[in-house]
Structure 1
Amino acid sequence: MSDAAPAAWPAERRAIVRDSLAVGLATGAYGTGFGAISVASGLSVWQTCVLSLLMFTGASQFAFVGVVASGGSSVSAATTALLLGTRNTLYGLRMAPLLGFRGAARIGAAQVLIDESTAMGVTRDSRRAARTGFLTTGLSIFVLWNLFTFLGAVAGDLIGDPRTYGLDAAVGAAFLALLWPRLTDRRNRMVAVLAAALALAIAGVVPAGVPVLAAGGVALIAGLLSRGGDSTDVPTDEPDHRRTALMWTAVVLAGVGCYLLKLAGLSVPSRVLERPVVERIADLMPVALLAALIAVQVFVTDQRLVLDARAAALGFAFVALLLRAPFLVVVVGAAVLAALLRLL
């Protein structure tokens, strides 16, 4: 990879920074939805903010609060978040030779290794262009995501019962929006259907949180048996003080664990993880887990199958995504529909 010609670099850098900041602003605003949903799921404002600061990977964060919202334990929530975070390790394998970071720079860069920063860096034809796109996107999203997470969490803490405003229905819509880009592949659609079916089938007979983890087995089996390359770039009645301590422990450990998965991708030799079967499993794991989270979040209450306003909200999200609506429109629209239906 060679650096761009010196005369052309200033103009190229301005274009990269402009595009990267636009992506950062659009993505960072999603943090409002996460903050509100997280507090509605049972985390405190400060737990929500620490989760964003440490974990900083949207799918894993939504998965963590989704498991908590469905009644799963903090251990199940952390495990699900970590399984989803494995995809960032593969991003790191792709980005490491492009960025060429070492030492402290690599340690810092790992925190902003996410979908958007990878996309804005991986297509560049020079190292400094890749670094500019990666860092500008990653840092702008990091700042804005955490700012909007705080604002959303404070707002969510003030509104009271989340069902009144349809925030519980917004969780399933958010998961569908995260899963949607991966459903272009037939294999992924099959895995999603099987994972959701398995989660619903066992939801009434196993502790909350376990159905989502069990769905990860669908991805594991499919990854081992299928061929082809990467197709898409039990809760207990604990005392309050103990439950709070366990949640804080899960937040911190899951956050640190997701960061270490990113750092591993930028640090280990590519030959260690860059194998077809590993890539297939890492590609299918988010599909299975997100599909199971949608099923449990929308159709299960207190380990019972329930059909209510959340299903209608999911239908709205499906149609909105077919029409290519942005993430915030999908999530907010689903919440508003659920809230209106409950007023009838």
Structure 2
Amino acid sequence: MKTGVLLVNLGTPSAPTSAAVKAFLSQFLHDYRVVDLPRSLWCPLLHGIILPFRSPKVAKLYQSIWWPEGSPLMVVSRRQQAALQKALQDEGIDVPVALGMSYGEPSIASAWQQLKEQGVDRVIVLPLYPQYSVSTTASVFDSWARLMKKERLVPALRFVHNYHDFSGYIGALADSVRAHWQEHGRGDLLLLSYHGIPKRFENQGDPYGQQCHRTSELLAEELGLEPHQWRTTFQSRFGREEWLKPYTDETMKALPKEGVKKLDVICPAFSADCLETLEEIAEQNQELFIKAGGEQYRYIPALNDNPAHIRMLVDLVCRELV
């Protein structure tokens, strides 16, 4: 059988404009895995209030972090795809790599079409979410399942459920932190901020929060940190219901009062830098920390396409080839 790899990430608007952001948010927020409210309640709220008012605001945020080459998430994802393809070829592994996004373009359907045209009949679906969540990883599986309903000959499937405790992933994170400390110095605390999910999801069986905490524990152990030298928080909450705690933004306001004046922040749940890291963490939360009395704030970039991250992805692929 000829195997192909399908890398999947969340997606991004095609441009930093209100229209493009509205189209992206509409697709994203229509996903029942993301918002599971009854559609009779949610759709009028989404189309009548959220999209008209939120899209222009989010577009301005995207404009503040947009790169000359395009959306940071898309630029980095393309680099990851090319780097993984080259790394596999360098090891003599003939496995084509395609990139698909859960929302926006390139779609998962277009990525599958690319693989199909290359004769692939066995697919390794690799969602670039280290920690499993119903709102991310399960959504990728849903998209793949819907796509396969149209196929007469369904390819064999290997689906990477998560890699939150994979040694290569923890090692890559640790290398990134050490390199940052060596170049910029070390703060009083290492804060690990993960994208949040509603607390209700966890109560219903989503292991995301547990896996985030496990990632933090393993990274702290790899770095030789004591309990008081690191902390886990959750960011990007939306709506009024309770999400996983502690909240990143509230922690930022409290840390200086606890004596933390120099802070290092890393976002282990993000495989590529995007709006939530470059704007929310590197800008918004830095402002909160400094206003609260902090003196030095440094964001440690996502693993992106650095060699250790690509090496880890190669190892994940090779594990699934067995």
Answer yes or no: same fold by TM over 0.5. no
When normalised by structure 2's length, the TM-score is 0.31
Greater relative CO, 1 or 2 (CA 8 Å, sep 6+): 1
When normalised by structure 1's length, the TM-score is 0.29
Could you say which structure has the higher helix fraction? 1
